[in-house]
Amino acid sequence: MIRPLLVMRLLTMPCLWMGLVQLVFGELSFMFFKDNVASNFTLPASITLGISLIILIGFKKYPLPSVTNREAMLFATLTWVAVGMLGAIPIVTIAHVSFTDGVFESISGLTTTGATVLSGLDSMPKTFLMYRQFLQWMGGLGVVIFVVAILPMLNIGGMRLLKAETPGPIKDDKLSPRVANTTHYLWLVYVTITALCALCYYLAGMSVFDAIGHSFSTVSTGGFSTHDASMGYFHSNLMLWICNVFMVLGATNFALHYRVYLANSIKLYWKDEEMRSFLIIIFVISVILATYLYHNGNEHSFWQSLTDSFFHIISFITSTGFAATDLSKWPVVTAVILIFVGYIGGCAGSTAGGNKVIRNIIALKSVGLEIKRLVHPNGVFTMKFQRRTISGEVRHAVMAFMCLAALTTIIFTILLMFTGLSFMAALSATAACLNVLGPGFAELGNNFAPLSDVATWLMSAAMILGRLEYFTVLVLFFPVLWRQ
């Protein structure tokens, strides 16, 4: 059963939050950056806050009962849609783009995609630039709460797997107490890692502004930058390796971070099967790419080739999407590798997008199991992950997720091509949005401005679809959700 009034009341929370954020940025512009865009933030903020408070006060008498699974899914999707719209208003008025483009940019921020329709960033008001960076950081935190606290309860795409991994009370099947319980430690971890990241960037030579801004978009694996040249602006290998570390930390299961903190043992990272596989995958693919680039690209030394390969593989596998060089000058095969690496994704329970390492492992183990079964048709085989048996139900959900990701990619690619894009542009944009990765190739190599309005809306939908792991959104279109 869906209670529309309850969902509406819940929705006022993220809207209130967005209003507060915009209010703060208005003050920042007025008091600190003095870049004359204060009213672009305070005006929509006041309206949002006003309406939200009226709704909140109007429904004050209603107690907030436990939220059902169905309501949680509707709430999650509507949150990203509503906050995406509200977040777009300052973008539209400051960067002078259409509402379509503004919503795209805002959703790209909040979903931590990092695809942009803007160019000439370096000369834009600082308040505005920091606002974009902050959208990603806030979106990243929202996603972490969603994937750590809500996904495992809903078992979306087989993520019940992670339930036992998550600290806090797990026997209660109601969502609300659980969310409240896990949120506070996620905050702690997320803020700590971001602060460390900003500090490292600053020590490596970034300005305070850039260090904070880029820490926001690194830990959230968002990929927005305050410069058109992205991380390439700084011409610093040291910064790329700092970025590598924090992109990987952002793409690590935040529940694992918390366990490492509780146990005070960094070894737990390596003991975790998903994390271990993640690091091995990064290492192997990066070394292969480095070797190829050294022999076929424009790299001067193997060390530079290695740095560039690790940076771009990590940037794409963690779905961050930073670039440090003009990727259009690399051989086309590297673009194809980077696009498909994005489908591997980071660890579950992180800010990263993509199909997630854990699902890839389970899919591969599934293939291995079938091979065993061919040789021993009457044998009984079970799948183990992290020394626990994986149920058939989880396997089904994981494999359905993988198929859905592939099917969605094909459909969106063809739809984009109908709007006039080349195959490479359409495929790369689809992959970039579904995996909340960011960068496109071919015509979209610089930014997403060449997209038609229809294509822009398609990609906005794709970002929300991918961010909420397909099923959360898809279920809204099936009558089974709306039936009593």
Q: Residue numbers of the site for a copy of itself (CB under 8 A)?
A: 69-70, 73, 154-157, 292, 332-333, 336-337, 340, 363, 366-367, 369-377, 392-393, 395-397, 399-404, 406, 410, 413-414, 417-418, 422-424, 471, 474-475, 478, 480-481
Residue 158 in the binding site for K ion (CB under 5 A): no
438 binds, among a copy of itself, K ion, none (CB under 5 to 8 A by kind): K ion
120 binds, among K ion, a copy of itself, none (CB under 5 to 8 A by kind): none
433 binds, among a copy of itself, K ion, none (CB under 5 to 8 A by kind): none
Residue 354 in the binding site for K ion (CB under 5 A): no
Check the annotation: does 20 bind a ligand.
no
Contact assessment for residue 163 and residue 255, using Cβ atoms and an 8 Å cutoff: no
CB closer to a copy of itself, 126 vs 160: 160
How many angstroms separate the CA atoms of 412 and 152, rounded? 27
C-alpha torsion angle, residues 346, 350, 356, 361 (rounded to 10): 90
Token digits of residue 467: 């961010």
Question: What are the backbone angles phi and psi of residue 335, rounded to the nearest 5°?
Answer: -60, -45
- Stretch 281-320: interaction string toward K ion, x if CB under 5 A: --------------------------------------x-
CB of 461 to a copy of itself, least distance (A): 18
CB of 144 to K ion, least distance (A): 14
Residue 103 CA: distances (Å) to CA of 31, 106, 115, 413: 27, 5, 12, 21
Count each helix (H run) and each strand (E run) in the chain, helices first. Answer: 20, 2
Contact assessment for residue 438 and residue 320, using Cβ atoms and an 8 Å cutoff: yes
CB closer to a copy of itself, 370 vs 453: 370
Three-class SS state of 384: strand
Residue 179 CA: distances (Å) to CA of 17, 147, 262, 445: 17, 11, 20, 39
Task: Pick out residues in 202-241 that bind K ion (CB under 5 A).
Answer: 223
- Stretch 443-472: interaction string toward K ion, x if CB under 5 A: ------------------------------
H-only helix segments in 264-331: 267-271, 273-296, 302-317
Residue 114 in the binding site for K ion (CB under 5 A): yes
Check the annotation: does 222 bind a ligand.
yes
CB of 224 to K ion, least distance (A): 8
Options 438, 440, 450, 466; binder of K ion; rule CB under 5 A: 438
Residue 321 in the binding site for K ion (CB under 5 A): yes
Token digits of residue 345: 């994704």
Instruction: Name 68's Cβ contacts closer than 8 Å, sequence gap at least 6.
Output: 1, 2
CB closer to a copy of itself, 302 vs 340: 340
Check the annotation: does 252 bind a ligand.
no
How many angstroms separate the CA atoms of 27 and 20, rounded? 11
Residues annotated in the binding site for K(+), as ranges? 112-113, 222, 320, 437
**Residues at the site binding K ion, with contacts judged by CB under 5 A:** 114, 223, 319, 321, 438
